[in-house]
Amino acid sequence: MKKFNIPPIYQSNFIGKIKEIRRTRDKLKKDFSPTILNFGPVVIKIARHFGFCYGVENAVEIAYKTLEMHPDRRIFLLSEMIHNPDVNKDLLDKGVKFIMDTKGNNLIDWKILNSDDIVIVPAFGTTIEIQKKLESIGISPYSFDTTCPFVEKVWNRAAQIGERGYSIIIHGKPSHEETRATFSHSQSGAPSLVVNDMSEAKKLIKYIKKEADESQFREEFKNQYSSNFNPLTDLQKIGVVNQTTMLASETQAISDYLKEEILKFYNVSEDQAALHFANTRDTLCYATNDNQDSTFALIKEKADFAIIVGGYNSSNTTHLVELCEEKFKTYFIKNASCFINESDLSHFNIHTKREEITKNYLKSNQETTIALTCGASCPDSEMEKVLMKILTLFDNTESPENVLNTI
């Protein structure tokens, strides 16, 4: 796989050595068990796979290379480069300006842009409508495009099955940048619909079976379907693709459920499935799968609690939090600054969408075991800061160098 030139501020000697040790021993990536770091009074069980994925490394490399090569030009990002507050802050500090927020609301008027400006397309990709807007200004949407190749793979797969007469069902968060981009590209070639979760997939079955009318469909899936989408005719042949950062298991469950129900309704066998359902299993992102499989292995372990590091608006990180919450008391933190002191921790509640402070989260004078991982947009340097901050909360810990020798 390609090696990227990542700025030193995002690298970590300690985390890098852990990853290299595991990579060397498990080149085929069949062992998803966590790495056990025994520091004495605290044991940290760190997930097998975590941190920057291929798409994020690609985006970061392009962004920083663009800054280096064009110091005299105005540089804009369509929106956040990736969902990590430290990376985005560093880009803003270097003079990059964001045109939109993550919901697509303008922060800067398009009118101030001109053909001499550089606009970087983030890893999530962008819509056809925004591509055309940039072109109308005289800015190429492809010259500084950091769209993840795995996102583009979803677009290509949707286009392929759309050409064969299937409507596209997108499993994703309707307001997420990647889903908005995928929906835009998908609907250009086929009727398209976004479903957020299994509950919406179950609602959709009513229309596949023609058990509910069109007006009800318009209300239940408001702003989630392409123009002129007709639930009476456009749900006879479907294929499911996904926002690449969703839970892979949920995407598969939705796909399996819709397939089973549509085949039962049309009374066709598995051999005839292609008459009504397209095989799109290969649109799941490898990094999402690896990180989630590593988290499944992590929660099989014993631990007093889990810490998940990443941007609070990061979809893939949020799903790791959801998985860990099934087993552990879980704290979702954006960076090492969330450790207020030895007893107080600031963290994000994914259910209330608010930051909270938990006091006395550590058991005093007791050996502690912590499960630790992070999202695909979290730098190794931030994971090292979090790990080292944890060590300062305990007395007489073993040195990191000695612990590396025991892995």
Give the active site residues.
178
H/E segment holding residue 404: helix 400-404
Dihedral sign computed on CA atoms, order 356, 357, 362, 368 = positive
Structure tokens at 90: 């560093």
Do 32 and 293 touch, CB atoms closer than 8 A?
yes
Provide the 10 A C-beta neighbour count for residue 18.
23
Give every CB contact of residue 167 below 8 A, 6+ residues apart in sequence: 190, 191, 192, 193, 229, 234, 235, 237, 238, 239
Report the candidate in 55, 46, 62 with the shortest Cα–Cα distance to residue 12: 46
d(CA 175, CA 380): 28
DSSP state of 363: P
Structure tokens at 24: 């060397």
H/E segment holding residue 348: strand 344-349
**Inter-axis angle of helices 177-187 and 149-163, nearest 10:** 30
Kind of pairing, strands 344-349 and 354-359? antiparallel
DSSP state of 136: H
Q: What are the strands, taking DSSP E only, across 185-314?
A: 192-195, 238-242, 277-278, 305-309
d(CA 291, CA 160): 28
d(CA 206, CA 214): 11
Provide the 10 A C-beta neighbour count for residue 351.
9
Give every CB contact of residue 254 below 8 A, 6+ residues apart in sequence: 171, 195, 197, 198, 201, 240
